[in-house]
Amino acid sequence: MVNLKRYYFHSEQIGAQIRYSDSKVLNYLRFHLMSQKLLFIFTLIYCTSVLTMAQEKKTILIFGDSITAGYGLEKDQAFPAILQEKIDSVGLNYEVINGGLSGETSAGGARRINWVLQRKVDLMILELGGNDGLRGIDLTSTKQNLQTIIDRALEKNPDMEIIIAGMQVPPNLGIEYTQEFVNLYPDLAKENNLPLIPMILDKVGGYDEYMLADQIHPNAQGHKIVADTIWETLYPIIK
């Protein structure tokens, strides 16, 4: 004869086990779904953050000659790379482009600028004219070429910040030419209402320990000083 009391008790145990098992499955499914949702949300936030950073990243073009190019040195020793390190160290979202070309004159720069500006540039440091001086080129032409570069840059991006980097030439070119060259950059900066670095090779030019053997181009230590000199003008603009 069937023991109904025992049977019902046993049935209740089985039912409870089934309900407990179902509860575990449901809890697992809920946890799994919640994990997937959280993973999706975090992935979405991360991708949005990366995309925003990429969109907000600004560009600094250093448009110059062999000094910018880092003549005789590795690219990471030239002052544009050092400026990038300084920018990264303070958490600013800028990319520095080394637009230096050895032997470049102001005329060559005027021909090249449209090609370089195919990508968006937010700030340009103009470091050209030194080779014009070394070749004794008519400085009226040099000034016109530098003005052309400025005009084309602003046509491309009217909001572009431009910094003029001044140079000097050896006095053996004559007092009149040397003085005209010295005045070239301040005049250009004043006429265009642009910030000026009076002498990019300040504290470097004429010091053997900071120059290559040619006494024209800075060595690795010299480029660090050049970067410091530029940073004094650049940082207040981009911070």
Would you name the residues annotated as active-site residues?
66, 214, 217
Instruction: Find all residues with CB under 8 Å of 18, minimum gap 6, and list them.
Output: none
Within 10 Å of residue 16's Cβ, how many Cβ atoms? 10
β partners of residue 196: 164
* Cα-based distances in Å from 213 to 75, 131, 150, 210, 224: 19, 18, 33, 10, 17
Distance CA 85, CA 156 (A): 27
